Amino acid sequence: MLACPTRHTAPADALTEPAEITALASAYQGKIQTLAVEARATHYGDVGAFKGKVAILVRRPGDVHISTLSPTDDLVGVLSSDGKRFVTFQRGARVCQRGDACPRNMARFLPLAIDNPTFVGMMMGRAVFIDGTPTEAAWDGKVGAYRVELVGGGDQRQLAWVEHGSGRILRTELFRGKDRTFSIDFSDVRSVDGHRIAHRVEIKIARGNTDLRLDFRTVDVNLELADSAFSIPCPDGTTIEELSCER
């Protein structure tokens, strides 16, 4: 006998205005300034498959450090960026790449062509909304959250599911016309020093058939992170390749 799916009743003080819901989501996690994560990364896509350990440091508004590690915790590759410049290199490689921080250059290391503040916000579970107008909102009883729609220019549209009270994002989807181009899910929520942090982040991107999942193993919130973590120089003896941000 099949069980009926759970339906979540809307709270008595539920919001009704789309702009109120997006404002609630935008304010979420305002007290988190830094996040230090060790995670298991699983990636599938047209460029190939990858499974391994990553160490990620982020600091608002746009500082990013990502190290890929071997099963024995040896360094495999690094990307560091202070929000203005970035450096990336692989262990033992003859070339070290650096340049201005921009989505194009971040995508040389990540399967995501996004800017630094967006990546930092994503890691912290904060809302990332398109430049558009909130047009519709309703309570989604199946999910137990608000479902809000935003419409932007260029045939862009976004759906987001927002938790009542906290404003935590559960899922968001981006569309170009009728085609879904991007989705991200936050799940396995646990408390870390009083902050509710999603320990699983799943990203799907239509372009490149990208499927990326991060399973957080350890999480530290609001650690003092050294500036040097976000401005690592190219290793001695490597040839420096300067990369542009041109389209």
Residue pLDDT, tens place only, 150-192: 999 889 999 999 999 988 899 999 999 999 999 999 999 999 9
Instruction: Tell me the CA distances in angstroms from 184 to 22, 171, 212, 224, one per residue in order.
Output: 17, 6, 9, 28
Percentage, residues of the chain above pLDDT 90: 64
Residue 43 has pLDDT above 70, yes or no: yes
Characterize the bridge pairing of strands 95-100 and 239-243. parallel
Residue 209 has pLDDT above 80, yes or no: yes
How far apart CA 157 and CA 97 sit, in angstroms, is 35
Residue 5 has pLDDT above 80, yes or no: no
Neighbours of 109 (CB within 10 A): 20
Could you identify the residue written with the tokens 């404002």? 23
What are 214's strand-pairing partners? 41, 201
What are 246's strand-pairing partners? none
Give the per-residue pLDDT at 4.
Answer: 53
Cβ within 8 Å of residue 190, ≥6 positions away:
196, 197, 199, 219
CATH class as words, domain 18-222+229-243: mainly beta
- Both tokens of 86, joined, read 């970035």
- What would the mean pLDDT of 124-146 be, rounded to a whole number? 89
Residue 30 has pLDDT above 90, yes or no: no
Which pTM value belongs to this model? 0.87
Average pLDDT over all residues of the chain: 89
CB 128 within 8 A of CB 121: yes
DSSP class per residue in 24-53: HHHTTTTT--EEEEEEEEEEESTT--EEEE
47-61, 100-114, 173-187: lowest mean pLDDT where? 100-114
How far apart CA 146 and CA 157 sit, in angstroms, is 16
By three-state DSSP, how is residue 207 classified? helix
CB 208 within 8 A of CB 45: yes
Give the per-residue pLDDT at 45.
Answer: 83
Residue 2 has pLDDT above 70, yes or no: no
How far apart CA 46 and CA 209 sit, in angstroms, is 6
Q: Phi first, then psi: give them for residue 201, nearest 5 degrees.
A: -125, 120
Q: Phi first, then psi: give them for residue 13, nearest 5 degrees.
A: -100, 30
Give the per-residue pLDDT at 189.
Answer: 92
